[in-house]
Chains A and B, each alone.
Chain A
Amino acid sequence: MADKIATREAYGNALVELAEKYDFVVLDADLAAATKTGVFKKKYPQRFFDCVIAEGNMISLAAGIATTGLVPFASSFAMFAAGRAYEQVRNSVGYPHLNVKIAATHAGVTVGEDGATHQCNEDIALMRTVPGMVILNPADAPETRAAIEAAILHDGPVYIRLGRAAAPVINGEDYKFEIGKGVTMVDGKDVTIVATGYMTHIALDAAKLLEAEGISARVINMPTIKPLDTAILEQAARETGAIVTVEEHSIIGGLGGAVCEALAETCPVPVARIGVPDCYGRSASAGEMLTYMNLTAENIAAKAKKVIGK
């Protein structure tokens, strides 16, 4: 539990680890040192292609590569992979349902000091609207490694959301990952906290705070945003009666939006969404940004109590 490693770093390591097992190439947009594809580039230079600061071209190019049966990973910051190149993702990759893996790092407010222009809090919302797109948002290093392998084995477009900040390891090395499945990390009966990505370990801390106050909180880690595990959500809604969603992404269109859309139609219960409100970030450390946006264990616990009327 003491180990901390950024999911971007786990991504770079996974590419190297899986390189001999699977045939794929890696594209990057002048950010290999930051996205951590650089470790792959160093070991497999013949399988790495720098597409420079031209992300739209990179995504359409990846689509062209995929038409030939070769799997490309295309990496940049989430702001540019999902934001700048949204239309290329939709039309070149999504519409023909091509086997492109977009690994986008520096997502969310934990980007930190680079500030609002680089803190992409909208990528999940954008990618959710692309028909057929699988969206993965791993919480730690073992989950990232498993998600990368699952993405390779999945035939179709996958968007993998990765973070800059070091995240505590909460899963074991034997962790089994399945696309479309949520994982109950802690069982509970009074309320369910559904978290994704970097926020999952903070949700676990919140459950401990609640436990100290005699409230039994279930914690579900949701590494796949699309397709969403509606079964685990409906069960949680039925059994605990209230939901709190937690993400370092806009409360519009992300995990919170997806959970509300799903439960509103099948098992409506009170839901509190914790995430980035309808605003931009600013320059500060990752930790300061989490506090600034109220993405803390204390706030999660407070919102959980409020949603169950305590």
Chain B
Amino acid sequence: MEQTKLDQLTEIARRVRVGIIEGTYHAKSGHPGGSLSIAEILTYLYFEEMNIDPKNPKMPTRDRFVLSKGHTAPGLYATLAERGFFPVEDLKTLRKIDSYLQGHPDMKGTPGVDMSTGSLGLGISAACGMALSAKYRGEDYRVYTVVGDGESEEGQVWEAAMFAAHYKLDNLVAFIDLNGLQIDGKITEVMNPTPHDEKLKAFGWNVITINAHSFEEIAAALAAARACKGKPTAIIACSVKGKGVSFMEDKADWHGKAPNADEYAQALAELNGEGK
């Protein structure tokens, strides 16, 4: 990847992180940790990978994105705002009664949201439905979803995994955000859902493991997914929960908690490169 491109994407991901902090701070609730862990994935999808048009969010030929781990809506909203689907300023209305930015994604109210999600395990199934429809109609759009590692404890994720492999949904890419933490602690200690790579291979998926914060690795994995025929692709994205805000990094406590005024100021200072 060219350095200019890398710099551009890095800057967008930084602004996405700022949007996540702005949203959750002004909402006084929400899920910053798992939003921050997927900032590079969302940035790359919406600025490089996906065929989308912010001026025509319902374009029938568009690629689709389903945030299966719907609680990380602040990350999706910040990305959609940066991409021009709606004003960045509106991120501060997150979770407010008159806002179109619901606590979990609402496809009816928010431009750019392709599926309503929030109840874990349901989004990846919906993504399978979109991919199946494309196959059935002979359309060439692609479908992307992000599943949480904690979310993978839901049985429905594996029902969907079975389905996608059986119907050879090679137009489907599922990121597994392996940040290693769920509300109750480390996933490997609470009840271990790993190894995702071996499990998904056994289910018949094409599996690629990457560093979730490396644009080069994301780009390479998505290129490999496009090249793979006859199988859905899972990208096991090893991430740091809370990435980019020092005191939130790798802390389960920041799964579903908003920063207070001091923490907000510190987070913004860090993200704006002003040091500690």
Partner of B126, one of A25, A47, A49, A63: A63
B132 touches A92 (CB 8 A): no
Q: A91-B122, A92-B126 are in contact. Are A57 and B159 (CB under 8 A)?
A: yes
Whether A188 is near chain B, meaning CB under 8 Å from some CB there, is no
Contact check: which of B130, B131, B134, B163 meets A57 at CB < 8 Å? Answer: B163
Decide: B156 and A56 in contact? CB cutoff 8 A: yes
A227 → chain B, closest Cβ, in Å?
20
**Cβ-defined contact, B107 with A52, below 8 A:** no
Whether, in the assembled complex, A64 has its beta carbon less than 8 Å from a beta carbon of chain B, the answer is: yes
CB contact under 8 A between A91 and B116, given known A61-B126, A64-B127 = yes
User: B113-131: which residues lie under 8 A (CB-CB) from chain A?
Assistant: 114-116, 118-119, 121-123, 125-131
- Determine how close the nearest CB of chain B comes to the CB of A61; give it in whole angstroms: 4
The answer to whether A49 and B115 touch across the interface, beta carbons within 8 angstroms, is no
Tell me whether A209 is interfacial, beta carbon within 8 Å.
no
In the complex, are the beta carbons of B107 and A92 less than 8 A apart?
no
Chain A residue nearest to B133 (CB atoms) is A68
Within 8 A of A (CB), among B136-161: 136-137, 155-156, 159-160
CB-CB nearest in chain B for A61 = B129
A97 at the binding interface (Cβ < 8 Å): yes
Q: Known contacts A54-B159, A63-B126: does B132 contact A69 (CB below 8 Å)? A: no
Q: Which residue of B lies closest to A88 (CB)?
A: B122
Across the interface, A70 reaches (CB within 8 A) one of B108, B116, B131, B133, namely B133
Q: Does B195 contact A (CB under 8 A)?
A: no
Q: Contacts A88-B122, A92-B122, A96-B115 given; indicate if A60 touches B129 (C-beta within 8 A).
A: yes
Q: Which residues of A contact B128 (CB under 8 A)?
A: 57, 61, 64
- Residues of chain B within 8 A (CB-CB) of A47 are 136
- Do A25 and B159 contact each other (CB < 8 Å), given the known contacts A65-B130, A67-B130, A91-B118? no
A72 vs B128: C-alpha distance when bound (angstroms): 13
Within the complex, what minimum Cβ distance (angstroms) separates B204 from chain A?
14
Cα distance, A49 to B155, chains bound together (Å): 20
A64–B126 touching, CB < 8 Å: yes
Given A57-B163, A92-B125, A49 contacting B132 (CB threshold 8 A): yes
Q: CB-CB contacts of A91-133 with B at 8 A, as 1s and 0s?
A: 1100111000000000000000000000000000000000000
- Nearest Cβ distance between residue A272 and chain B, in whole angstroms? 39
Verify B108–A61 contact, CB threshold 8 A. no
Contact A61 B125 (CB under 8 A): yes
A284 part of interface (Cβ distance < 8 Å)? no
Chain A residue with Cβ nearest B113: A96
Q: Would A87 and B126 count as touching, CB distance under 8 A?
A: no
Bound: A56/B121 CA distance, A: 9
- CB contacts (< 8 Å) of A63 on chain B: these are 115, 125-126, 129
Interface residues of chain A: helix, strand, loop or mixed (majority) = helix
Count of A-B residue pairs with CB < 8 Å: 100
- A34-67 at interface with B (beta carbon < 8 Å): 46-47, 49, 51-52, 54, 56-57, 59-67
Q: Which residue of A lies closest to B125 (CB)?
A: A60
CA distance A155 to B261 in the complex (A): 46
Contact between chains at A68 and B125 (CB < 8 Å): no
Mask, A143-174, CB within 8 Å of B = 1, is 00000000000000000000000000000000
User: Would A65 and B133 count as touching, CB distance under 8 A?
Assistant: yes
Does B247 count as interface, using CB distance less than 8 angstroms?
no
Please tell me which one of the listed residues A51, A66, A67, A95 contacts residue B163 in the complex, with CB atoms under 8 A apart: A51
CA distance A27 to B167 in the complex (A): 13
Knowing A52-B162, A68-B133, A70-B137, say if A60 contacts B114 (CB, 8 Å): no
User: Which of A56, A57, A63 has the most CB atoms of chain B within a 10 A radius of its CB?
Assistant: A57
Find out whether the CB atom of A57 lies under 8 angstroms from the CB atom of B133. Answer: no
- Residue B60, interface by CB 8 Å: yes
Q: Of residues 65 to 81 in B, which have CB atoms within 8 Å of A's CB atoms?
A: 66
Q: Which residue of B lies closest to A100 (CB)?
A: B129
Q: Residues of A contacting B159 with CB < 8 Å?
A: 54, 56-57
Give the complex CA separation of A67 and B115 in angstroms. 8
Q: Mark A67-98, 1 if CB is under 8 A from B, else 0.
A: 11110100000000000000110011001110
B125 / chain A contacts, CB cutoff of 8 Å: 56-57, 59-61, 63-64, 88, 92
User: Nearest residue in A to B70 (C-beta to C-beta)?
Assistant: A91
Given contacts A65-B133, A68-B130, A97-B108, contact A57 B156 (CB under 8 A): yes
On B, residues with C-beta under 8 Å from A are 60, 64, 66, 106-108, 114-116, 118-119, 121-123, 125-134, 136-137, 155-156, 159-160, 162-163, 167
A sample of 15 inter-chain contacts (CB < 8 A) reads A51-B163, A52-B162, A52-B163, A60-B125, A60-B126, A62-B129, A63-B125, A63-B126, A68-B137, A69-B60, A70-B136, A70-B137, A91-B116, A95-B116, A96-B106
- In the A-B complex, the 5 residue pairs with the smallest Cβ-Cβ separation, listed nearest first, are A64-B129, A60-B125, A64-B126, A57-B159, A54-B159
